[in-house]
Amino acid sequence: MTEEEIRQEYEILHRAKSDSRHFGLLYEKYFDRIFNFIYRQTEDEDLTSDLCSQTFLNALNNLQRFEFRGLPVSAWFYRIAVNEVNKHYRKKKTDRVFSIEELRVKELFEQGNEGWDEELVNQLLLHLKDLPTEMLEVLELRFFEDKDFKEIAYILEITESGAKMRTYRALDQLRKKFNLSIKYDGKK
């Protein structure tokens, strides 16, 4: 996203502070992405609908507190969504779900890795699910949501170097276990 596009979104948010109808533009633009992001962490459509609704309601209710930070507005929505999902799991005291789409994993790893068969992909999916939540979060945001480290840091409320370190450690574990050629910055 270009700086100009980011500024345009901030202008929309600024106008939404005095007329909430403007917020609908951003809601329409990001609803599907936020819904799918939450769904991968719940695998429950009804729960996802509730958490997604709460995410956008919280955003709308907190427009006055929103500050320009040079990031896409989507980063704010993802941050609220992460907080809503975390709040749900803390309240329910249940294990977090991460539904990693097999097709996306194949796309990510087949590009430069010969010999990926169904069994190896399944092993990788199982191994990914065994990673600590913090590592899964950064991998999901980096590779499945295409967020840069600055956005990841903002979304997860960690430092940018912390986001890089978590990503590096997660990829290092995957490299060692599966002999992957994926690089630290997420590019081949």
Model pLDDT for residues 56-103, shown as the tens digit of each residue = 999 999 998 888 888 999 999 999 999 999 999 889 887 666 666 655
Is residue 73 a part of any domain in this protein? yes
Do 82 and 107 reside in the same domain of the chain? no
Number of folded domains in the chain? 2
Choose the final residue of a domain: 51, 73, 92: 92
**Nearest residue to 163 via CA among 126, 129, 120, 134:** 134
Asked if residue 184 has pLDDT above 60, the reply is no
Residues 58, 124, single domain; the answer is no
Residue type, 66: F
* Amino acid making up residue 87: K
User: Do 87 and 108 fall within a single domain?
Assistant: no
The one-letter amino acid code at 53 reads S
Q: Does a structural domain hold residue 136?
A: yes
Q: Is residue 85 in a domain?
A: yes
The answer to whether residue 86 is domain-embedded is: yes
Same domain, 88 and 51: yes
Same domain, 110 and 88: no
The whole-model pTM stands at 0.81
Residue 68: how many other CB atoms lie within 10 Å: 11
Distance in angstroms (rounded) separating the CA atoms of residues 177 and 129: 14
Structure tokens at 85: 């999902």
What contacts 24+ positions apart, CB below 8 Å, involve 4-13? 5/72, 6/70, 6/71, 6/72, 6/73, 9/72, 9/73, 10/68, 10/73, 12/73, 13/63, 13/66, 13/73
b/e map of 146-160 (b: 16 or more CB within 10 Å)?
ebbbebbbbbbebee
124-155 pLDDT tens trace: 777 777 788 888 889 889 888 889 999 999 99
What is the spatial distance between Cα 10 and Cα 42, in angstroms, rounded to a whole number? 30
Task: Write out the residue range of the structural domain in which residue 20 sits.
Answer: 3-92
- 183 assigned to some structural domain: no
Same domain as 82, residue 111: no
Domain at 123, CATH number = 1.10.10.10
